A and B are shown apart, each in its own frame.
Chain A
Amino acid sequence: MFDFDSIPHIKEVSACHGVYDEKNLNEKDPVSFDERQQRSKKVLPDLEEAIKRVGLKDGMTISFHHHFRNGDYVINMVMDVIAKMGIKDLTVAASSLTDCHWPLIEHIKNGVIKHIETSGLRGKLGDAVSHGLMDFPVIFRSHGGRAAAIETGELHIDVAFLGAPSCDPYGNANGYNRDSEEGSCCGSLGYAKLDALYADKCIIITDHLVSFPNTPFGIPESQVDYVVKVDNIGDPNGIMSGATRYTKNPKELLIAQYATNAIVASGYFKNNFSMQMGSGGASLAVARYLREKMLEQDIKCRFALGGITGQIVQMHEEGLVKKILDVQSFDLIAANSVKNNRFHQQIDASYYASYVNKGAAVNQLDFVILSALEVDVDFNVNVMTGSDGVIRGAVGGHPDTAAGASMTIVVCPLLRGRIPTICTKVNTVCTPGRTVDVVVTDQGIAVNPARPELYERFVEAGLPVTTIEKLRDRAERIAGKPEPIKYGEKIVGVLMYRDNTVIDVIREVID
């Protein structure tokens, strides 16, 4: 027995709620764990119920991730339900949008969607936006820029609708399924993680409701409000290809060979280097050629970052790449590796690329290999608008990695069909030339004059080095000088640089 008030200093102890009283105890729940989890109050029968519970209202901001790529069913499914419920004027802040999201066009026309923020647009939706579908221009942010905007609260997400290949009744969600080999698999949930963390409300949409605990998880239950089970979150074939294939295109292989030789000669190719490779044909081939050089010279990579492919996983499993930081898995081999390899770590978008985050992994890169639709003589890169001026790309982590890496290499053919890739002025600036160090084409390598030491090293190594102006001239000599694309006045898209300042705008296309 004790006298509560006589305990010295007890009034000053925080988190002390007085004297224990048996009356306050909850009833003991005698059912089995399995029965109990079946009754989880987080699991709701359908999307409509979940949307009602989170209190979605006109004018709010909702978010989605793009880990299901072109196989995604979630965005269209959720938007259809929202439209049916009569909610209007929403801002859709997706980490990215792609071809399969064309049904959003109707929701935009009907006023359900007022505004879109995304990393990219493609297909019919990109085409429609380029032709003036929306009055509020689409805001394009890099992955790092979006992460920063969410972290600082500037991009406030009211409700995140996040598809997950597996989830337990309490909301522990994952990009793969440890309980079954069936269903879809996207590996890392990197872009979804941050949305779950910062959104006011978070709904997980899954087609595989598995038993608690769904560990190790990509998104923890503490960040999840509701879980909705649906028949299918996506088309597995659209979400993942089995393995990203090596290109046999001789021109891509040639570019890759040049890029590899540039890396080897750059001074950054030494033990414990760090790198990021894209998933384009030439980038993947660089991984293959670099692997040969690593074996030849007994050099190991400390970490590989970014969108991860089977090629990187192979190098990891061979011991050539020690650690993998994976914000997005590009193929099934990569996705399975997230599941099976201890040092294949999924990371969120902020860890990956946010400028607010000083420790962001992009800042630790020795080099990155990036692609481009256009590069101009000031080294500015366009990855957004096609040769007809229509939106058909994504900013992705392009400006983030370019800014962070010690050496940024852009690989592209000198011409695509008849269109020069190296030009006088890019149609849309996505990544500023100041952050691009080397441009590798099939017809020569150009080094940014700001990096004379790289130029020297490449010349020393006998690489085919030239100037960016000469590459542009050569392209125009072969193809002829292209006439400019005709744009209207209306601004249909705004490109935010990674610090969320406006770097360029996209105007309406006139046919």
Chain B
Amino acid sequence: MNKQITIEEAVSQVKDGMTIMIGGFLACGGPNKIIDALVAKNVRDLTIIANDTSFVDKGIGKLVVNGQVKKAIVTHIGTNKVSGQLMNEGKMEVVLTPQGTLAEQIRSGGSGLGGVLTPIGVGTPIAEGKDHLIIDGKTYLLEKALKADLALIYGSKVDEKGNVFYNEATRNFNPMMAMAASTVIVEAEEVVKTGELDPHLVMTPGLFVNYIVKA
């Protein structure tokens, strides 16, 4: 099957109100060209699951500035002053989550698990309202799995089957998100023919990827 689509075809799949996982860490390793197209399309009321809300002029940050995000499940908003403003004005709900917890919530969402037990956050405000379980004398929080309608990820080198190689620090949340969404679109820096990406270097198997957009 041919997984390659245009950026227009990719954004046509994004509808108002969707829950979308977006890879990247402060826009490094993020699907930033697809995000630009989402800003142009102006889809609204999105729930975004991502590491951070980036900067006002980069990646996810632009979606926030354009008022397209209803809810952000992220670990950090401090690099984007508009995120804080919208949160304080009640225009965007922000669920701040420890980074390792978010990674595991997404991983478990893609792995058939209901969630994870983590000691992180016990005794802090984020533990409020969450189930506490004592296992062998140690207290853990139950953090539920996360899934999404769509994952937008980035790949440095992607073959026609959707196998992905991530260069350097671009990997971050991308491999987990590729497992946890109903539809997965990878923005590929480079697309190569089937057989040209050494299987040893594949970090996300192509079976997880529905569509490839050449950046």
Answer yes or no: do A and B interact: no
Q: Which residues of A contact B (CB under 8 A)?
A: none
